[in-house]
Amino acid sequence: MDKFVYQYPVRQYFGKGCAEEAIKEELKNAGENILLAYGGGSLKRTGLYDRIRSWLAECGKCVTDFGGIMPNPTYRKVQEGARLVRENDIDFILAVGGGSVIDCCKIVSAQSRLDEDIWDMWYDHHRLPTDFVQMGAVVTASGTGAEQNNGAVITHEEKKLKQPLFGAYHSFAVLDSDLTRTLPMKQVISGVFDTLSHCMETYMGKPQATNLSDEINEAVMRNVVKNLRALIANPDDDFARGELMWASAMAESGMLKLGKQTDFQCHMIEHAVGAYTDCNHGQGLAVIHPTLYRRMIGYGTEKLVRMAETVWGVKGETAEETAARGIDALESFIKEVGLPTHWSQMGITDESVLRAAADTCFLMPGCCKQFSRDEIFEILKERM
């Protein structure tokens, strides 16, 4: 294992029906002025908005709404949130939603306390913010694990970039599986695939030797595959729903990343495609993963073999054959759960977009193979 320091600042409230008690408990000690952040409409449609407003009223809070946060949140939306925080003297940001709402708030929390532009601060001057408005996350769509870390993925529309920015950690995360019951199954599935991708991207990093984090990771991956099948078979399976929610949190809590360098090349490619197409994150990952991994045979073979055997239960005559069978099993799973395997299934038919994504994505040092931009373009083009 490589050296590490591990500290974890997010208090976790897990369990079916835990939201009301958790929110009241946390908010009673927060300041009076709350920014209630949410997405494009589901919160009001499901009735959760009214419930949360009544809980906040019981706690004596003055609430400012910050709605309309879109999937793949934009830099412009971050600036709108930061303005609201300043104008309303906000003490606490309550993010209620999926990864998009939760990410957007992390950067709002930092930008509202800065005189300079947070994008330039990081990408031009490599400085991180240090002052934040406190916040907490109530997860209504799990999979990204965004409530567990201080990274946020923000789309800068003018620059045509979808890239990470860093803000604060949420001081608490509410993981109440009841709140995810209204999420359409298609979105549930892409979220769960995102979790599986986080696990694989962490597992495939360097070094190839398997450490304790990797062995825990194998258990999480098996659990994710098993429980997604169970939830598709029975959407009322609350046990499976809860397991998937905690697996999502586990994958991004840092625990699986200890003592190693992560890969995340697939994510960086998908984010670049997302910058040009605004595509669904989990679906984009599903298209890229199998082709990318086939090009890693011969470089990350040891880990691909272990993943084939321990997660997918397949084996071949040689290490390369076992690795290939594991990737085939991954692709069969993608098809089985109804995720796309080609860009055309997601409405992406313009090859120049894939070229632009290959030319602008980050190339990751933790990946077992250093891909050239032409190779990445080939990988993307193969799935037109």
Binding site for ligand NZQ (CB under 6 A): 39-43, 46, 71-72, 97-101, 103, 140-141, 143-146, 149, 151-153, 179-180, 182-183, 187, 191, 194, 252, 267, 281
Distance CA 146, CA 168 (A): 11
- Minimum CB distance to ligand NZQ, residue 111 (Å): 16
- Minimum CB distance to ligand NZQ, residue 184 (Å): 7
Contact partner at residue 179 from ligand NZQ, Zn ion, none, CB < 5 to 8 Å by partner kind: ligand NZQ
Contact partner at residue 46 from ligand NZQ, Zn ion, none, CB < 5 to 8 Å by partner kind: ligand NZQ
CA distance readout (Å), 85 to 105, 111, 116, 118, 134: 11, 10, 16, 15, 11
Closest to Zn ion by CB, 112 vs 149, is: 149
Q: How many C-beta atoms lie closer than 10 Å to residue 338's C-beta?
A: 12
Contact partner at residue 380 from Zn ion, ligand NZQ, none, CB < 5 to 8 Å by partner kind: none
In contact, 81 and 35? CB cutoff 8 Å: yes
Distance CA 150, CA 290 (A): 29
Closest to Zn ion by CB, 168 vs 196, is: 196
- Minimum CB distance to Zn ion, residue 70 (Å): 17
- Minimum CB distance to Zn ion, residue 248 (Å): 10
Alpha helices in the chain, H assignment, sequence order: 19-27, 42-46, 48-58, 75-87, 99-111, 118-123, 185-203, 212-233, 238-252, 265-277, 281-294, 301-310, 319-336, 351-360, 373-381
- Minimum CB distance to ligand NZQ, residue 20 (Å): 16
Distance CA 78, CA 294 (A): 38
Instruction: State the residues that interact with Zn ion by CB under 5 A.
Output: 194
Going by the DSSP 8-state scheme, the letter that residue 174 receives in this structure is: E
Contact partner at residue 99 from Zn ion, ligand NZQ, none, CB < 5 to 8 Å by partner kind: ligand NZQ
Coil, helix or strand at residue 335: helix
Among candidate residues 235, 231, 186, the one with its CA nearest the CA of residue 346 = 186
Distance CA 384, CA 196 (A): 23
Distance CA 122, CA 134 (A): 21
Contact partner at residue 18 from ligand NZQ, Zn ion, none, CB < 5 to 8 Å by partner kind: none
Closest to Zn ion by CB, 133 vs 339, is: 339
- Minimum CB distance to Zn ion, residue 249 (Å): 13
- Minimum CB distance to ligand NZQ, residue 119 (Å): 16
Closest to ligand NZQ by CB, 170 vs 303, is: 170
Distance CA 179, CA 18 (A): 10
- Minimum CB distance to ligand NZQ, residue 22 (Å): 16
Closest to ligand NZQ by CB, 281 vs 325, is: 281
Residue corresponding to tokens 């990350």:
300
Cis, bond preceding 164 (omega within 30 deg of 0)? no
- Minimum CB distance to ligand NZQ, residue 175 (Å): 13
Contact partner at residue 72 from ligand NZQ, Zn ion, none, CB < 5 to 8 Å by partner kind: ligand NZQ
* Beta-strand pair 151-156/161-166: antiparallel
18's tokens: 């835990």
Contact partner at residue 253 from Zn ion, ligand NZQ, none, CB < 5 to 8 Å by partner kind: none
Contact partner at residue 140 from ligand NZQ, Zn ion, none, CB < 5 to 8 Å by partner kind: ligand NZQ
Closest to ligand NZQ by CB, 149 vs 322, is: 149
User: CB pairs under 8 A, 24+ apart, for 244-247?
Assistant: 244/142, 244/143, 244/192, 244/195, 245/14, 245/139, 245/142, 245/175, 245/177, 245/180, 246/14, 246/175, 247/195, 247/220, 247/223
